[in-house]
């Protein structure tokens, strides 16, 4: 039946499906505002969606919204990698569910692609300000139940992780999405567990990056690669993300630019900015003073 309806209506149905999956609910007005359709057209879309997937949504008359049921199964296929990229760039329209134009551009493969339903539950928790119970497999302790309060999903350049308050360690940490095998929504978090209390997340570090003084023979090439001005690149990065960026760009973080190798084309000139930053074990050459 999906093949027999117009492309525009398939887009709207995909948007309903996307919101139910990732938000857990959708208001009729959300659809009307997003696609600039009339009230009657919006009602027809919801009626058609319910005809196609009757077990996917129920209507809450008091809240005047449609919400996801426990039996929910997506009507469309939502590709995990493309959906995560769209979410990261605030393009949460669900259009990937019905196919996009493909361009001849390739990117390096990630280690693994997260389970779309795990991602959806975590996004629901973040949007609805909920804690979650998960099964997490770590390198140090194997598979165990943990309670987290997630507030952001992040691409660290190699894989996706969720930034969350961990009730086991009573601290904010990063958890790799592909190591999470089950997610259950819990009650709302306490004040000290909310994202506003994540100091490393909200603290911005100024990084002063320059062409490596020993490994690069023609620094102008590096200046062009990174759009440097006055032979340097000045950027601000979250303290919680600094280690990931420094590793991804292979930035030499030693005090006197002593790392050797063609891969080290940048040097962190203001190394002192990393003082009192956690999670820097992966920063190339960094040794805490």
* pLDDT digits 0-9 by tens, 128-175: 999 999 999 999 889 999 999 999 998 887 888 999 999 999 999 999
CB 1 within 8 A of CB 78: no
Q: What is the pLDDT of residue 257?
A: 97
Residues 94 and 15: their CA atoms lie apart, in Å, by 5
* Mean pLDDT of the chain, nearest integer: 90
106 confidence band (pLDDT: 50, 70, 90): low
For the chain, what are the domain ranges?
Answer: 2-98, 116-198, 203-274
CB 282 within 8 A of CB 249: no
Specify the pTM: 0.82
Q: What is the pLDDT of residue 44?
A: 93
pLDDT exceeds cutoff 90 at 104: no
CATH class of 116-198: mainly beta
Q: What is the pLDDT of residue 101?
A: 47
* pLDDT digits 0-9 by tens, 184-224: 999 999 999 999 999 999 999 999 999 999 999 999 999 99
Q: Mean pLDDT throughout 276-289?
A: 88
Q: What is the pLDDT of residue 218?
A: 97
Q: What is the pLDDT of residue 99?
A: 55
Q: What is the pLDDT of residue 107?
A: 55
* pLDDT digits 0-9 by tens, 7-63: 899 999 999 999 999 999 999 999 999 898 899 999 999 999 999 999 999 999 998
Q: What CATH number matches the domain at 2-98, 2.60.40, 1.10.286, 1.10.10, 1.10.3470?
A: 1.10.10
CB 204 within 8 A of CB 238: yes
Element (H, E) at 252: strand 251-252
3-state secondary structure of 25: strand
């Amino acid at each position: 039946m999906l093949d027999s309806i117009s492309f525009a209506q398939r887009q709207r149905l995909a948007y309903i499906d996307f919101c139910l999956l990732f938000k857990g609910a959708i208001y009729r007005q959300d659809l009307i505002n997003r696609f600039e359709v009339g009230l009657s057209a919006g009602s027809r879309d919801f009626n058609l969606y319910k005809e196609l997937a009757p077990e996917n949504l129920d209507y809450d008359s008091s809240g005047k919204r449609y919400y996801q049921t426990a039996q929910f199964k997506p009507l469309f296929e939502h590709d995990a990698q493309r959906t995560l990229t769209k979410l990261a760039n605030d393009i949460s329209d669900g259009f990937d569910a019905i196919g996009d134009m493909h361009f001849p551009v390739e990117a390096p493969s990630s280690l693994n692609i997260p389970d779309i339903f795990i991602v959806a539950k975590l996004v629901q928790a973040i949007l609805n300000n909920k804690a979650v119970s998960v099964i997490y497999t770590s390198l140090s302790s194997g598979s165990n139940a943990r309670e987290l309060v997630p507030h952001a999903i992040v691409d660290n350049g190699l894989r996706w992780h969720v930034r969350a308050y961990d009730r086991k360690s009573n601290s904010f940490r990063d958890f790799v999405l592909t190591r999470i095998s089950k997610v259950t929504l819990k009650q709302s978090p306490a004040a000290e567990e909310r994202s506003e209390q994540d100091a490393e997340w909200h603290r911005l570090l100024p990084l002063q990056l320059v062409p490596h003084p020993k490994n690069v023979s023609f620094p102008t090439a590096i200046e062009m690669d990174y759009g440097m001005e006055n032979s340097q690149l000045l950027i601000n990065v979250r303290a919680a993300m600094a280690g990931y960026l420094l590793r991804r760009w292979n930035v030499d973080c030693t005090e006197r630019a002593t790392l050797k190798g063609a891969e080290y084309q940048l040097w962190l000139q203001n190394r002192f900015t990393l003082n009192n930053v956690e999670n820097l074990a992966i920063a190339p050459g960094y040794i805490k003073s």
